[in-house]
């Protein structure tokens, strides 16, 4: 059984073998077979197929790859957001509020939130999502968070080092010992990545290096929350350890930019966090001009960025961060795939996963041009049309 997506006005492939950054093919069609792309070409040359979806001249893109989200939590921090909008600063202090609520929640409550947000993201075109733990912060609760995250994605990240929980406040070294030992062992069956919030008030360079090194030795890939609230050692550490991604990258020195440019580490920018904490946006133009690979992701979490919308992040990146619409679309698809070291998603070419978004718009430009408008009309995931209602 195969499926032809036909009459595509503008097909964004991200295939480097085609013209331009995002490899646009006009008047295109895509043949899908067994969950993969089987053929891409001009609609006029399309082969016969068992089933046909008529895109009616609209734009089609690879599904968004959201490489940074914290979906396993309970509780609500809307009041904290409201306080920030009238002048309070964001410090990350609210993380402990979410930790208390998360520990108190049942498995089914957490599962309900994760599945609800995963569906919310899918309705907005996200076909691959990374999900972190980090609101459990005990051996049992971190393992539980990752086990539940695994129900909806293979891209799971152990973030036991999000903050030092209240019960370890006066003995952070002991907490790092717990993270590096029993907590990591309990997380391993459910995690692909290890991450640390490397920031003043969270974990310093020595603690970060210790946790990431032991996680890496246990077989996990490395990612880092780096340079979000101020300058710091996170980006340099990420590069030193060969991290797949340094996330946030809001406060960077010239040396940080240079280190990223000469590395395999992607700079993942999370403009939802700056929007929601009323902070200056990261300078995407500076990174791109230096040759750094940039990804965009939502950082969806109840504190600093409660959005699951990749189109919203694209609009912010274009309006506020100096990215062209094509650069932002690439960063939200192929960039996210690089940040997860994936070659099968974020690109449309024969053999790639058939994760496609059909827009209710004639071109990718509309994602930034029409902010806040639900432009996702159909989503195919593994070649299967998804029910979006
Ligand atoms: O990526 N910065 C650390 N962690 C999250 C925020 C978590 C929270 O405030 O609950 C982030 O922005
Ligand atoms: Fe985050």
SS3 at position 362: coil
Annotated binding residue 115:
no
The pLDDT of residue 246: 99
Looking at the chain, the domain(s) classified CATH 2.30.40.10 span 2-63+346-386
**CB-CB contact of 22 with 323 (8 Å):** no
Pocket of ligand 1, candidates 224, 299, 305, 313: which has the most ligand atoms within 8 Å of its Cβ, to mutate? 299
At residue 289, φ and ψ (nearest 5 deg) are -65, -25
Q: 19 CA to middle of ligand 1, Å?
A: 38
The pLDDT of residue 389: 86
CB neighbours of residue 352 within 10 Å:
21
Q: 260 CA to middle of ligand 2, Å?
A: 19
- Our answer on whether the CB atom of 383 is closer than 6 Å to any ligand 1 atom is no
- Give me the residue label for tokens 């067994």: 34
177's CB contacts (< 8 A; 6+ apart) are none
Q: 225 CA to middle of ligand 2, Å?
A: 6
- Our answer on whether the CB atom of 81 is closer than 6 Å to any ligand 1 atom is no
Express each pLDDT in 263-315 by its tens digit: 999 999 999 999 999 999 999 999 999 999 999 999 999 999 999 999 999 99
The pLDDT of residue 169: 97
Express each pLDDT in 202-233 by its tens digit: 999 999 999 999 999 999 999 999 999 999 99
**CB-CB contact of 59 with 8 (8 Å):** yes
In terms of CATH, what superfamily is 64-340?
Metal-dependent hydrolases (3.20.20.140)
Tokens of 348: 């449309």
Annotated binding residue 360:
no
Q: Which residue has a Cα nearest atom 9 of ligand 1? A: 303
Mean pLDDT of all residues belonging to the chain: 98
Q: Which residue has a Cα nearest atom 6 of ligand 1? A: 304
Give the CA distances from residue 35 to residues 217, 275, 354, in Å, rounded to whole numbers and listed in that order: 34, 36, 5
Give the number of whichever ligand sits closest to the CA of residue 304.
1
- Our answer on whether the CB atom of 228 is closer than 6 Å to any ligand 1 atom is yes
Tokens of 34: 């067994």
Q: 351 CA to middle of ligand 2, Å?
A: 32
Closest atom of ligand 1 to CA, residue 277: 12
**CB-CB contact of 157 with 130 (8 Å):** yes
Closest atom of ligand 1 to CA, residue 228: 2
Closest atom of ligand 1 to CA, residue 273: 12
Tokens of 387: 């029910």
148's CB contacts (< 8 A; 6+ apart) are 72, 107, 110, 111, 114
Q: 33 CA to middle of ligand 2, Å?
A: 36
CB hemisphere CA count around 358 (13 angstroms): 25
Pocket of ligand 1, candidates 80, 94, 95, 274: which has the most ligand atoms within 8 Å of its Cβ, to mutate? 95
Give the number of whichever ligand sits closest to the CA of residue 100.
1
User: Which residues of the chain carry a pLDDT beneath 50?
Assistant: none
The pLDDT of residue 221: 99
Closest atom of ligand 1 to CA, residue 95: 10
Annotated binding residue 228:
yes
Looking at the chain, the domain(s) classified CATH 3.20.20.140 span 64-340
Q: Which residue has a Cα nearest atom 1 of ligand 1? A: 299
- The DSSP secondary structure of 153-210, one letter per residue, reads -S-EEEEEESS--GGGTT-HHHHHHHIIIIIHHHHGGG-SEEEEEESTTSB-HHHHHH
Express each pLDDT in 174-193 by its tens digit: 999 999 999 999 999 999 99
Q: 273 CA to middle of ligand 1, Å?
A: 8
State how far the Cα of 268 lies from the Cα of 332, in Å rounded to an integer. 10
| Beta-ladder partners of 379 | 357
- Our answer on whether the CB atom of 197 is closer than 6 Å to any ligand 1 atom is yes
CATH (one of 1.10.760.10, 3.40.640.10, 3.40.190.100, 2.30.40.10) for 2-63+346-386 = 2.30.40.10
- Our answer on whether the CB atom of 92 is closer than 6 Å to any ligand 1 atom is yes
Pocket of ligand 1, candidates 67, 70, 227, 268: which has the most ligand atoms within 8 Å of its Cβ, to mutate? 70
- CA end-to-end distance (rounded Å), the chain: 25
SS3 at position 376: strand
Q: 195 CA to middle of ligand 1, Å?
A: 12
Q: 222 CA to middle of ligand 1, Å?
A: 18
């Amino acid at each position: 059984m195969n499926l032809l997506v036909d009459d595509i006005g503008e097909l964004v492939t991200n295939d480097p073998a085609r013209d331009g950054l995002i490899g646009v093919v006009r008047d295109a069609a895509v043949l899908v077979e067994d969950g993969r792309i089987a053929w891409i070409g001009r609609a006029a040359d399309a082969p016969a197929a068992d089933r046909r979806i008529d895109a009616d001249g609209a734009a089609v893109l690879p599904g968004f790859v959201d490489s940074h989200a914290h979906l396993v939590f309970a509780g609500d921090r809307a009041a904290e957001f409201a306080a920030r909008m009238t002048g309070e600063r964001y410090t990350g202090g609210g993380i402990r509020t979410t930790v208390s609520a998360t520990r108190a929640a049942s498995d089914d409550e957490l599962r309900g939130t994760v599945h609800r947000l995963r569906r919310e993201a899918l309705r907005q075109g996200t076909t691959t999502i990374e999900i972190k733990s980090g609101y459990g912060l005990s051996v049992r609760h971190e393992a539980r968070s990752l086990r539940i995250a695994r129900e909806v994605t293979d891209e799971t990240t152990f973030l036991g080092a999000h903050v030092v929980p209240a019960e370890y406040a006066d003995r952070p070294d002991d907490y790092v010992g717990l993270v590096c030992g029993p907590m990591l062992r309990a997380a391993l069956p459910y995690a692909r990545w290890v991450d640390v919030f490397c920031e003043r008030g969270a974990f310093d360079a020595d603690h970060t290096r210790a946790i990431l090194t032991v996680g890496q030795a246990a077989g996990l890939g490395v990612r880092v929350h780096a340079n979000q609230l101020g300058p710091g050692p996170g980006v340099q550490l990420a590069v030193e350890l060969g991290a797949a991604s340094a996330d946030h990258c809001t406060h960077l020195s010239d040396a940080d930019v240079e280190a990223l440019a000469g590395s395999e580490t992607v700079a993942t920018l999370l403009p939802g966090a700056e929007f929601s904490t009323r902070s200056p946006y990261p300078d995407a133009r500076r990174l791109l001009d230096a040759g750094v690979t940039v990804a965009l992701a939502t950082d969806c979490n109840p504190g600093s960025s409660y959005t699951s919308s990749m189109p919203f992040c694209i609009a912010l990146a274009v309006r506020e961060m100096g990215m062209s619409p094509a650069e932002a679309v690439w960063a939200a698809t192929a960039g996210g795939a690089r940040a997860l070291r994936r070659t099968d998603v974020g690109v449309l070419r024969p053999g790639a996963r058939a994760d496609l978004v059909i827009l209710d718009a004639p071109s990718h430009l509309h994602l930034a041009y029409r902010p806040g408008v639900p432009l996702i009309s159909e989503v195919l995931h593994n070649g299967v049309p998804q029910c979006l209602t």
